[in-house]
């Protein structure tokens, strides 16, 4: 059984993330989506909220589970017997950053392989921060994230009133 780990802050999970998860679910016997703590990021949603939203979005993928990790992802992957780290890429800038991260992970854990999976082309511009900004402006994000995510963002960020135009 091949276990793959797909880690990120997922604040919140987007349609692009879901595209990567769908691909991974077809490729690997078990995929663990890891909500990772990134001390450099200020998150809107708690880790528990992010995990719950991902769990709801992956219910139709029986080989996908969700977990939380505080430390290095390579240590988490080793602890669960994973052999692959998954990284989603949207474009050239992502690829450059992700390649550096993969090289660092390989130096720490040479037994783990990193696989880059691009999201579907029409989702290349979708980001968690972009979703939050759109909702804050009062825009509909339902095409860019799971329904529960759109509802949660609407609850947290939607303008409470609109000024007259």
Token readout for 125 is 């511009």
113 is known to lie in a ligand binding site: no
Which among 61, 78, 90, 134 is annotated as catalytic?
90
Cα–Cα distances in Å, from 7 out to 76, 132, 135, 157?
A: 10, 20, 24, 25
Q: Cβ neighbours of residue 163 under 8 Å, at least 6 residues apart?
A: none
124 is known to lie in a ligand binding site: yes
**86: helix, strand or coil:** strand
152 is catalytic: no
144 is known to lie in a ligand binding site: no
122 is catalytic: no
Which among 22, 128, 132, 152 is annotated as catalytic?
128
17 is catalytic: yes
129 is known to lie in a ligand binding site: yes
87 is known to lie in a ligand binding site: yes
90 is catalytic: yes
CA-angle at 39, arms to 82 and 19, nearest 5°: 50
Binding-site residues for ATP: 9-10, 17, 88-90, 98, 123-129
- Active-site positions read 17, 41, 90, 128
- List binding-site positions: 9-10, 17, 41, 73, 87-90, 98, 123-129
């Amino acid at each position: 059984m091949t276990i793959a780990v797909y880690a990120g802050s997922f604040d919140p999970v987007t349609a692009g993330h879901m595209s990567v998860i769908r691909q991974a679910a077809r490729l690997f016997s078990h995929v663990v989506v890891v909500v990772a703590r990134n001390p450099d990021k200020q998150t809107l949603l708690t880790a528990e909220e992010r995990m719950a939203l991902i769990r709801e979005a992956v219910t139709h993928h029986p080989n996908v589970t969700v977990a939380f990790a505080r430390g290095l992802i390579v240590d988490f992957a080793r602890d669960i017997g994973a052999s692959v780290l998954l990284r989603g890429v949207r474009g050239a800038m992502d690829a450059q950053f992700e390649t550096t991260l993969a090289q660092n992970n390989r130096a720490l854990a040479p037994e783990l392989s990193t696989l880059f999976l691009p999201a579907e082309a029409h989702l290349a511009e979708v980001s968690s921060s972009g979703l939050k900004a759109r909702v804050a402006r009062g825009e509909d994000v339902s095409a860019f994230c799971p329904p529960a995510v759109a509802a949660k963002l609407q609850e947290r960020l939607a303008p409470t009133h609109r000024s007259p135009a």
